[in-house]
Amino acid sequence: MANHPSAEKRNRQRVTRTDRNRAASSALRTALKKARTAVAAGDKDKAKGSVASAEKALARAASKGVIHPRTAARTTARIAKALAKSAKV
């Protein structure tokens, strides 16, 4: 248990930030899952829209500090590559 007012405040901040980051990462995982399933299904219009929303969610999570910017860039590149590959087939 915190013994100083500043430590109590840091604990309150930790709880708030943890909840916010957990919600953001959960939304990100959902967006990525939708994009990957749409690409795998082969529906081009739905896949294009879901990949765009996943890229937006990745950029938002990286800007908020939920995930590392390079992780966001790498994941964005991978889903874009998968979309391009499915469009060729």
pLDDT at residue 89, rounded to an integer: 64
What is the C-alpha to C-alpha distance for residues 29 and 79, in angstroms, rounded to an integer?
13
Domain ranges for the chain? 5-88
pLDDT in tens, 43-84: 888 999 999 999 999 999 999 999 999 999 999 999 999 999
Instruction: Name the residue among 59, 38, 58, 41 with its Cα closest to residue 49.
Output: 38
Inter-residue contact 57 to 28 (CB < 8 Å)? yes
pTM of the model: 0.85
pLDDT in tens, 18-50: 999 999 999 999 999 999 999 999 888 899 999
Q: Which CATH class is domain 5-88?
A: mainly alpha
